[in-house]
Amino acid sequence: MTEISTETNEPPKLKLPDEFDSALLGHDWKGNRAVYSIESILEVLMETQEWNLEECIEHFDHNIACAYMGEMTPLYVWTAPEGIDEWLHSS
């Protein structure tokens, strides 16, 4: 039987600003990097910045997703069950 270590129950060491806490899903298994929902980040940007979806995607792509913060750079995942294309067209 494989023993599972739970030593990574500590909070992620690097995360985005607090305004994105609602987009935080948790942390990855081995590296303890923060994992964020892309859709939730875009929704936060639309609400707080009053930008349209296209502006939010551009900001996310250029300023968040492409920002390298060392080995603890957060991970970003699509979580929409309907798929990326359908979510983009429904927002």
- Residue found by looking up tokens 């948790």 in the block: 26
**Tens digit of each residue's pLDDT (9 = 90 or more) over 11-45:** 677 788 899 999 999 999 888 899 999 999 999 99
Classify residue 82 by burial, with Cβ atoms within 10 Å: 0-12, 13-18, 19+.
exposed
pLDDT at 39: 94
For residues 23, 27, 33 and 37, what is the CA-based torsion angle, rounded to 10 degrees?
Answer: -30
Whether the full predicted model's pTM is greater than 0.85, yes or no, is no
Residue 4: what pLDDT?
35
DSSP label of 5:
P
**22: number of CA atoms within 13 Å, CB side?**
10
pLDDT tens by residue, 42-79: 999 999 999 999 999 999 999 999 999 898 899 999 98
Q: Is the per-residue pLDDT at 1 higher than 50?
A: no
